[in-house]
């Protein structure tokens, strides 16, 4: 296992970093073919643009529609990169992901199912069909740290937990931004010429909305948390907070609607102040904001009868629920 040295924000020179990584990536890939998955987050967006600069036509970029993304996300990301001159192939893998998640309730098993479906099934197939030898991905320094610390198995950590991707999946993984934390990645993304809506985008987890559904994941539950997420993002995007999200609980609670008993769903809202996601505190949101969130979520998202706000710091809480 290779030890990864962090590049601290004070030491990072974005332009030089980009030049160096362009050289490094193109020398590793040589005349071969590489592929990468773009999720629309700042990490994968930075890697996509950086590596297109390095590899041009030798890099093929995919958006894997796993059915677990936020509303209209696939179309938004494909369109945005089209404007930047990068063609992104949209691949529908919804069925595969939902099948893999069926019956699983344990958080780490759910994360493992995402990893296997993504790296073995979907990418294994793309690699076979395209003949690519390399997968480029936007793993960052915090992902590595949290996995090694055994807190959460980050979906994209492979080599650091002893997986030989060449043997297991048939391709080599290249991780150009692995020495950077989020703030560093944002600097690099800006220097690459990505628009502000990308380099300032709040983080979104690789396992997508699965990280926000407690218990078994079904298309219906994902739809509920997707609708709640949209409202939370609309209401909290002006707070400047590090990250804000909605979680769907497994337990139902008794509510009342139109004078009748409604044994309904619970949504938990979280809004975080943090620098690098390692530690965090809940934002002290004005009560009017909380009130509006509860009002909107309980009327616009079918079945929701309870909305709560998490007031626990990380640690012992974590940013996502799963």
> What burial letters (b/e) apply to 252-277, b meaning 16+ CB within 10 Å?
eeebeeeeeeeebbbbbbbbbbbebb
C-alpha dist (Å) from residue 270 to 93, 105, 247:
29, 21, 8
CB of 37 to ligand XMP, least distance (A): 11
| Residue for token pair 């710091």 | 313
CB of 233 to ligand XMP, least distance (A): 13
Contact 179, 290 (CB under 8 A): no
Q: What are the backbone angles phi and psi of residue 49, rounded to the nearest 5°?
A: -70, -40
| Residue for token pair 């893998």 | 93
Q: Which is nearer to ligand XMP, 143 or 187 (CB)?
A: 143
Q: Which is nearer to ligand XMP, 49 or 305 (CB)?
A: 49
Residue nearest to ligand XMP as judged by C-beta position: 206
The half-sphere exposure of 250 on its side-chain side, counting CA atoms within 13 A, is 12
Q: Which is nearer to ligand XMP, 45 or 305 (CB)?
A: 45
Is omega for the bond preceding 316 within 30 degrees of 0, making it cis? yes
Q: What is the SS3 assignment for 171?
A: coil
CB of 284 to ligand XMP, least distance (A): 19
Q: Which residues bind ligand XMP (CB under 6 A)?
A: 143, 146, 151-152, 154-156, 203, 205-207, 211, 243, 277, 314, 318-320
Q: Which is nearer to ligand XMP, 146 or 262 (CB)?
A: 146
Q: How far is 9 from 322, CA to CA, in rounded Å?
A: 29
Q: Which of 248, 237, 316 is nearest to 281 (CA)?
A: 316
CB of 62 to ligand XMP, least distance (A): 17
State the angle between helix axes of 42-55 and 14-29 in degrees (0 to 180), rounded to the nearest 10. Answer: 60
Q: What is the SS3 assignment for 201?
A: coil
Q: Which is nearer to ligand XMP, 44 or 306 (CB)?
A: 44
CB of 178 to ligand XMP, least distance (A): 12
Dig out the tokens for 169 from the structure.
């999946």
CB of 82 to ligand XMP, least distance (A): 24
CB of 238 to ligand XMP, least distance (A): 19
Q: Which of 124, 229, 214 is nearest to 168 (CA)?
A: 124
Q: Which is nearer to ligand XMP, 154 or 298 (CB)?
A: 154
CB of 197 to ligand XMP, least distance (A): 18
Q: Which is nearer to ligand XMP, 256 or 279 (CB)?
A: 279
Q: Which is nearer to ligand XMP, 178 or 305 (CB)?
A: 178
């Amino acid at each position: 296992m290779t030890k990864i040295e962090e590049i601290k924000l004070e030491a990072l020179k974005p332009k030089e970093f980009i030049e160096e990584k362009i050289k490094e990536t193109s020398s590793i890939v040589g005349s071969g073919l590489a592929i990468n998955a773009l999720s629309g987050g700042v990490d994968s967006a930075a890697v996509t643009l950086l590596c297109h600069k390095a590899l041009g036509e030798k890099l093929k970029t995919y958006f894997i529609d796993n059915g677990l993304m936020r509303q209209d996300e696939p179309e938004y990301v494909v369109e945005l990169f089209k404007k930047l001159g990068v063609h992104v192939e949209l691949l529908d893998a919804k069925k595969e992901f939902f099948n893999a998640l069926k019956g699983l309730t344990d958080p780490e098993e759910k994360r493992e199912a995402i990893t296997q479906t993504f790296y073995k099934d979907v990418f294994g197939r793309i690699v076979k069909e395209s003949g690519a030898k390399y997968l480029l991905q936007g793993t960052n320094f915090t992902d590595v740290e949290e996995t090694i610390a055994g807190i959460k198995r980050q979906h994209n950590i492979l080599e650091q937990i002893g997986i030989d991707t060449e043997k297991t999946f048939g391709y080599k993984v290249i991780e150009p931004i692995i020495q950077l934390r989020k703030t560093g990645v944002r600097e690099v993304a800006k220097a690459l010429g990505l628009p502000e809506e990308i380099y300032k985008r709040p983080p979104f987890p690789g396992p997508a909305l699965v990280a926000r559904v407690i218990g078994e994941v079904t298309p219906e539950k994902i739809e509920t948390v997707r609708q709640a997420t949209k409202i939370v993002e609309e209401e909290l995007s002006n707070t400047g907070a590090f990250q804000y999200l909605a979680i769907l609980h497994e337990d139902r609670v008794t509510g009342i609607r139109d004078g009748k008993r409604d044994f309904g769903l619970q949504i938990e809202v979280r809004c975080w102040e943090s620098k690098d996601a390692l530690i965090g505190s809940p934002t002290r949101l004005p009560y009017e904001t909380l009130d509006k969130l509860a009002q909107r979520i309980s009327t616009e998202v079918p079945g929701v009868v309870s909305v709560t706000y998490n007031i626990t710091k990380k640690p012992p809480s974590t940013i996502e629920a799963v």
